[in-house]
Amino acid sequence: MRISPRNKGLPTITATMREFAVGQKACVKLDGRVQKGMPHPRYQGQTGVVVGQQGKAFLLKIIQGSKVKLLVVGPEHLQRN
């Protein structure tokens, strides 16, 4: 969750404008510079499938054990797989 001193400040504009298609895989990579749209830190590094969009955020389906979790995650906290 820490940001190095060289990367402090607002995230890049491309990070906030990322697009994901339904069915595409994405990895949760938390960005400490933006708290809005951040999932719980337990999902850091988890990979899931994008199942939809809710406003600017994306709906991500993650399987954790035998349970299916549906996360609402901002584009700054997702990374393509």
Range of the domain at 76: 5-80
The reply to whether the predicted model has a pTM over 0.75 is: yes
For the CA atoms of 51, 57, 63, 64, the dihedral, rounded to the nearest 10 degrees, stands at -170
E strands, the chain, where?
Answer: 25-28, 47-54, 57-64, 67-73, 78-80
Q: How far apart are CA 64 and CA 16, in angstroms?
A: 27
pLDDT at 8: 84
Q: How far apart are CA 75 and CA 56, in angstroms?
A: 8
Q: Give the CATH number, domain containing residue 72.
A: 2.30.30.70
pLDDT by position in tens, the chain (length 81):
778 888 888 888 998 999 999 999 999 999 989 989 899 999 999 999 999 999 999 999 999 999 999 999 999 999 998
Terminal Cα distance for the chain, rounded: 20
Total residue length of the chain: 81
Task: Report the number of distinct structural domains present in the chain.
Answer: 1
pLDDT at 2: 79
